[in-house]
């Protein structure tokens, strides 16, 4: 039988609605009941699985047992000649929902300026949550929630103007017989919305569905997806290894409380996510100051609030508990609330060199995203998005390495994904509408794409995010051009034309994605300039006539005679090139190597603990030696391991310890000590701002905390090295391994303080904070500089 028949039993196939990796969907007509239906026909190539028909009947029956107004109702399911033909068909017949999908709505909204109010968002998620929680109570996990699987019933607009959401494709992934991400080498579903644990080959659970909802919520509120890439593998790796850019950094009009809700959904550790869809919706409503629907409030009230809103998006482990060490790059198109309280999606424009997307419309206050309770609900808009800042690679090794996880981890280790959690706005705009001399009009900050390797500094600080306000308009026939300039005192000055600026309502926001080589911009450039020049032709270099210079910023370059470093020098040592590391063949600056090496220590502590479960003392030994190699460095590790123990890590990396043992003589110095030394220099550097000084002091405190945690890891490793390998399999040794794993996790991801509900920063937070130090504070240009 053909896979494209015009008739299936009593059903006429009228119109093919779509085709995907698992099935094709037709609009059909039931000739007996005289009604339109939707028919999902499973692809023939999937039926090579000899268990497919049995599984299809079992799972289709379970799906058909779901009866909820926000779940597509299954009317019928059939197999055709299952024993007689290799081309046997299996299909399901379901309610035909007239209307577009949420994916189509979001796509059209981006181009047509449609809007969602805060109340609309809460109502949308309330309807979806009711369906998901209902299914979860009936032991049915969706496993493939995405906008394309949310139908908007235009026949019912009582609660949702765009149409009542109806969830489709419940349990299809399990029906196909695949619990992880691939079907005979082909991605199952859309990788944009798949949870980290599913990518790693795990079957998915209730909180996997919550993760997918979080991706959708991120997309609705920012206009971009938290992860994207050129290949499925790149996207999959980002779900495992990358922390998404905080939504309120992509769109500063998003309330911080809502940003925390979204990031909690996207936590790499499933246990840190919301326990139910209703709990998520209640949190969204509270963050947007919208009344929580009564049934949602009741359903969410029983959830244990063990994980507060500001729980990190990577795993934070509790002492003695070995949780799944699941892990958390670029995005799509952001949302912005317009000044008239309407959140609109507008198409982006690309100009100049590099990839730039400039949103249309002004940037209203953050509070405009929150429903004030007035008669007219505040609206969330999706303005023309800047390309999402590329977040950093923040891999946290997974507990059970099965399925896709093994090759993915191998790839992560080979590639060593890099830094740059992306846009951390330095300060908010001044509320004063006019700009005086030296008054900030906004900020430019460096981002990292994560396209890194260990042989160069590429992929680190290779992008820029520009966020400016209170700008004047260029004169008639003129245009504003944005440039990056090299240092003041260089023999051959260079510049990069970033873009021709379009000022809308006094504001400019765009994302510069760098060059094809992912050059570290901080290594070569230190000044930002906006010139006013003829609109045509586009200049190749900035005007030498400083009367045409309109806005300017620089990273201070005056040397402090006390240490012979400028602020720029300190930043470059941290983020671009440190001479000591360069001499050892370690490019990229101190920060990225602290980040990488602490990450590896955390991975090895988890591996050692897993080895205990497998009663593998050789494996435990190898991981303990590697941990001490990184903590102690090549020289000092000899005092912590038995004589003659070989170094088990990359000999290029081995000489530099994470810890410091002798500040006077240790050469090279340990990463934590060395970075702290530069932070002290930044605090004293000429031109440092009060905000930079305060942030440097904060990072220094965080480094001291990390030092204590890593010293605890070292002591645990030494305890184990001091006893026989036979004793390593005892319960007492397991307790030490658990503690070592926990402390290493704290050192990397930070620890949640139960008293304050604040995350005590680990290296992940330090990495973000150090990037924030290299922020340009843009002011009106003053020729007297």
- Predicted confidence (pLDDT) at residue 239 exceeds the cutoff of 60: yes
Residue 441: its pLDDT value, please?
Answer: 93
- Cβ atoms of 275 and 314 within 8 Å: the answer is no
Contact between 460 and 588 (Cβ < 8 Å): yes
Length of the chain: 785
d(CA 337, CA 370): 10
CATH number at residue 165: 1.10.510.10
Q: What range does the domain containing 474 cover? A: 422-554
Instruction: Check whether residue 30 and residue 155 sit in a common domain.
Output: no
CA distance 549 to 543: 8
pLDDT at 319: 32
Is the pLDDT higher at 153 or at 90? 153
* Other C-beta atoms lying within 10 Å of the C-beta of residue 542: 21
**Whether residue 527 sits in one domain with residue 473:** yes
- pLDDT higher than 60, residue 416: no
Q: What's residue 176's pLDDT? A: 54
Q: Which is nearest to 461 in space by CA: 502, 518, 544, 409?
A: 518
DSSP-assigned letter for residue 174: H
Q: How confident is the model at residue 572 (pLDDT cuts 50, 70, 90)?
A: very high
Residue predicted with more confidence, 81 or 419: 81
pLDDT above 70 (res 395): no
- Most confidently predicted of 12-21, 131-140, 415-424: 131-140
Average pLDDT on 93-114 reads 78
Q: How far is it, in rounded angstroms, from Cα 644 to Cα 633? A: 15
Kindly state whether residue 720 falls inside one of the protein's structural domains: yes
**Mind spelling out the 3-state secondary structure of 177-234?**
CCCCCEECCEECCCHHHCCHHHHCCCCCCHHHHHHHHHHHHHHHHHCCCCCCCCCHHH
Residue 777 lies in a domain: no
According to the model, what pLDDT value does residue 323 have? 31
- Whether residue 764 lies inside any domain: the answer is no
Evaluate if residue 65 carries a pLDDT over 60.
Answer: yes
Q: Which of 195-209, 259-273, 306-320, 342-356 has the highest mean pLDDT?
A: 259-273
pLDDT (tens digit, 9 = 90+) per residue, 528-564?
999 999 999 999 999 999 999 999 999 999 999 999 9
For residues 480 and 334, membership in a common domain is answered with no
Kindly tell me if the per-residue pLDDT of 182 is higher than 50. no
CA 648, CA 671: separation in Å to the nearest integer?
19
Structurally, how many domains does the chain consist of?
A: 4
**Which pLDDT belongs to residue 765?**
83
Other CB atoms within a 10 A radius of the CB of residue 3 amount to: 13
Q: Do 267 and 194 meet the contact criterion of CB atoms below 8 Å apart?
A: no
CA distance 398 to 405: 8
Is residue 745 within 8 A of residue 759, CB to CB? The reply is: no
- Following DSSP, what letter does each residue of 583-645 receive, concatenated? HTT--S-HHHHHHHHHHHHHHHHHHHHHHHHTT-HHHHHHHHHHHHHHHHHHHHGGGTS-TTP
pLDDT at 187 over 60: no
pLDDT tens digits for range 598-608: 989 998 998 99
Task: Say how many CA atoms lie within 13 Å of 83 toward its Cβ.
Answer: 1
Which alpha helices (DSSP H) does 7-140 contain, by range? 52-64, 102-112, 118-137
Per mean pLDDT, which range of 290-294, 360-364, 772-776 is the poorest? 360-364
Percentage of the residues of the chain whose pLDDT score is greater than 90: 48
- Taking the whole predicted model, whether its pTM rises above 0.75 is answered as no
- Give the single-character DSSP code of 292: P
Task: Show the beta-strand stretches assigned E in 259-345.
Answer: 336-337, 343-344
Of 729, 739, 745, 727, nearest to 611 (Cα)? 729
* Cα atoms in the Cβ-side hemisphere of radius 13 Å centred on 254: 29
pLDDT at residue 315 is higher than 60? no
Known catalytic residues are 144
Residue 159 lies in a domain: yes
pLDDT band with cut points at 50, 70 and 90 for residue 634: very high
Query: Tell me: the pLDDT tens digits for 71-94?
Result: 998 888 887 764 444 556 788 899
* Domain boundary residue, one of 554, 585, 606: 554
722 and 629 in one domain?
A: yes
| Residue 773 falls inside a structural domain | no
User: Which pLDDT score, from 0 to 100, does residue 674 have?
Assistant: 97
Residues 541 and 670 in one domain: no
Note whether 431 and 335 are same-domain residues: no
Helix ranges (DSSP H) in 266-393: 277-287, 294-300
Q: What is the pLDDT of residue 236?
A: 78
The mean pLDDT value for 626-631 works out to 97
C-alpha 363: how far from chain center: 23
Model confidence band, residue 415 (pLDDT cutoffs 50, 70, 90): very low
**116 falls in which pLDDT band (50, 70, 90)?**
confident
For residues 205 and 159, state if they share a domain. Answer: yes
43 — pLDDT class (breaks 50, 70, 90): low
DSSP conformation letters of 731-775: HHHHHHHHHHHHHHHHHHH-EEETTTTEEEP-HHHHHHHHHHHTE
CA separation for the pair 622, 341 (Å, rounded): 59
Of the pLDDT bands very low, low, confident and very high (cuts 50, 70, 90), residue 435 is very low
The predicted pLDDT at position 468 comes to: 93
Nearest to 247, CA basis, from 388, 55, 384, 418: 388
Q: Are strands 758-760 and 751-753 parallel, antiparallel or unpaired?
A: antiparallel
Residue whose C-alpha is closest to residue 162's, from 206, 131, 117: 117
Q: Do 62 and 142 share a domain, yes or no?
A: no
Share in percent of the chain as helix, strand, coil (round to 5): 35, 15, 45
Q: Does an H or E element contain 29, and which?
A: strand 23-30
Q: What per-residue confidence (pLDDT) applies to 6?
A: 80
For the chain, what is the mean pLDDT?
A: 78
* Three-state DSSP state, 706: helix
Cβ contact 421:483 at 8 Å: no
What 3-state class would DSSP assign to 681?
helix
Does residue 241 contact residue 416 with C-beta atoms inside 8 Å?
no
Q: Is the pLDDT of residue 161 over 80?
A: yes
Domain check: are 518 and 585 in the same one? no
Residue 78's Cβ-count burial label (10 Å; 0-12, 13-18, 19+) is middle
- The reply to whether 373 falls in a domain is yes
More confident residue, 58 or 206: 206
At 721 the pLDDT is 96
- At 753 the pLDDT is 65
| Mean pLDDT on 675-680 | 97
- Contact of 73 with 127, CB cutoff 8 Å: no
**Four-residue CA torsion sign, 41, 43, 44, 48:** negative
Structural domain includes residue 66? yes
The CATH number assigned to the domain holding 61 equals 3.30.200.20
Judgement on whether residues 581 and 533 belong to the same structural domain of the protein: no
| Structure confidence at residue 356 (pLDDT) | 29
Question: What gap in Å lies between CA 423 and CA 511, rounded to an integer?
Answer: 10
Of 58, 75, 95, the residue at which a domain comes to its end is: 95
343 vs 685, residue with greater confidence: 685
647-653: average pLDDT = 91
Decide if 543 is inside a domain. Answer: yes
CB atoms within 10 A of CB 231: 9
The secondary structure of residue 305, as a DSSP letter, is -
**pLDDT tops 60 at residue 304:** no
Q: How far is CA 424 from the centre of its chain?
A: 13
- Residue 443 and residue 322 share a domain: no
Q: Which of 52, 76, 95 is the last residue of a domain?
A: 95
Q: Are residues 498 and 543 in the same domain?
A: yes
- pLDDT at site 705: 94
Percent pLDDT > 70 in the chain is: 74
């Amino acid at each position: 039988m053909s896979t494209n028949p015009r008739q299936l039993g009593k059903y006429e196939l009228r119109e093919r609605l779509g085709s995907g990796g698992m099935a094709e969907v037709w609009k059909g007509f039931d000739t007996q009941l005289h009604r339109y239906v939707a028919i999902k026909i499973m692809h023939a190539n999937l039926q090579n699985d000899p268990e497919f028909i049995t599984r299809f009947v079992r799972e289709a029956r379970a799906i058909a047992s779901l009866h909820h107004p926000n779940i597509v109702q299954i009317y019928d399911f059939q197999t055709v000649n299952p024993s007689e033909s290799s081309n046997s068909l299996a299909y399901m017949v379901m309610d035909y929902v007239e209307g577009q999908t949420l994916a189509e709505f979001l796509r059209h909204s981006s181009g047509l300026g449609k809007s969602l109010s805060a109340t609309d968002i809460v109502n949308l998620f309330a309807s979806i949550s009711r369906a998901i929680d209902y299914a979860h109570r009936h032991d049915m996990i969706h496993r493939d929630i995405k906008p394309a699987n949310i139908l908007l019933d235009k026949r019912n607009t009582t609660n949702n103007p765009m149409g009542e959401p109806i969830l489709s494709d419940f349990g299809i992934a399990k029906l196909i017989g695949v619990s992880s991400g691939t079907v005979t080498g082909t991605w199952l579903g859309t990788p944009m919305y798949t949870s980290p644990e599913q990518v790693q080959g795990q079957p998915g659970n209730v909180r996997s569905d919550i993760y997918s909802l979080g991706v959708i919520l991120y997309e609705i509120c920012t206009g971009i997806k938290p992860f994207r890439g050129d290949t499925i593998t790149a996207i999959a790796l980002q779900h495992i290894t990358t922390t998404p850019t905080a939504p309120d950094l992509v769109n500063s009009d998003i309330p911080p409380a809502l940003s925390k809700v979204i990031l909690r959904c996207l936590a790499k550790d499933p246990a840190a996510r919301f326990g139910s869809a209703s709990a998520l919706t209640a949190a969204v409503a509270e963050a947007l100051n919208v009344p929580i629907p009564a049934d949602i409030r009741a359903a969410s009230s029983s959830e244990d609030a063990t994980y507060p809103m500001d729980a990190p998006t990577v795993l934070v482990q509790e002492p003695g508990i070995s949780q799944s060490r699941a892990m958390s790059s670029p995005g799509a198109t952001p949302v912005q609330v317009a000044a008239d309280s309407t959140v609109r999606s507008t198409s982006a424009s690309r100009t100049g060199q590099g990839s730039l997307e400039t949103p249309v419309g002004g940037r209203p206050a953050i509070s405009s995203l929150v429903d004030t309770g007035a008669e007219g609900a505040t609206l969330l808009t999706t303005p023309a998005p800047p390309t999402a800042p590329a977040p950093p690679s923040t891999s946290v090794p997974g507990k059970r390495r099965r399925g896709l996880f093994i090759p993915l981890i191998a790839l992560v280790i080979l590639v060593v994904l890099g830094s740059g959690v992306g846009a951390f706005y330095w300060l908010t705009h001044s509320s004063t509408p006019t700009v005086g001399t030296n008054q900030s009009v906004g900020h430019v900050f460096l981002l990292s794409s994560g396209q890194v390797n260990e042989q160069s500094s590429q992929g680190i600080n290779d992008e820029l995010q520009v966020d400016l306000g209170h700008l004047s308009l260029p004169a008639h026939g003129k245009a504003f051009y944005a440039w990056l300039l090299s240092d003041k005192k260089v023999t051959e000055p260079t510049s990069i034309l970033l873009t021709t600026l379009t000022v809308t309502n006094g504001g400019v926001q765009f994302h510069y994605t760098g060059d094809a080589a992912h050059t570290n911009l901080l290594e070569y450039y230190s000044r930002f300039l906006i010139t006013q020049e003829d609109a045509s032709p586009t200049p190749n270099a900035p005007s030498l006539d400083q009367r045409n210079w309109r806005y300017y910023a620089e990273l201070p370059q005056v040397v402090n005679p006390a240490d012979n470093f400028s602020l720029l020098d300190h930043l470059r040592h941290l983020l671009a090139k440190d001479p000591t590391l360069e001499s050892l063949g370690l490019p990229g600056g101190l920060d990225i190597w602290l980040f990488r090496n602490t990450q590896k220590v955390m991975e090895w502590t988890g591996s050692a603990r897993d080895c205990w479960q497998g009663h593998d003392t050789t494996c435990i030994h190898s991981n303990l030696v590697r941990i001490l190699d990184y903590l102690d460095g090549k020289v000092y590790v000899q005092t912590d391991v038995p004589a003659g123990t070989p170094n088990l890590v990359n000999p290029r990396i081995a000489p530099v310890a994470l810890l410091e043992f002798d500040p006077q003589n240790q050469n090279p110095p340990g990463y934590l000590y060395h970075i702290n030394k530069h932070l002290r220099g930044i605090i004293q550097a000429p031109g440092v701002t009060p905000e930079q000084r305060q942030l440097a002091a904060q990072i220094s405190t965080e480094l001291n905390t990390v030092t204590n945690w890593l010293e605890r890891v070292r002591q645990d490793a030494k305890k184990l090295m001091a006893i026989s390998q036979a004793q390593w399999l005892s319960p007492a040794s397991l307790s030490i391994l658990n503690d070592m794993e926990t402390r290493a996790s704290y050192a990397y991801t930070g620890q949640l303080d139960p008293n304050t509900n604040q995350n005590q920063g680990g290296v992940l937070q330090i990495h973000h904070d150090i990037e924030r130090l290299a922020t340009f504070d843009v002011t009106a240009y003053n020729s007297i500089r």
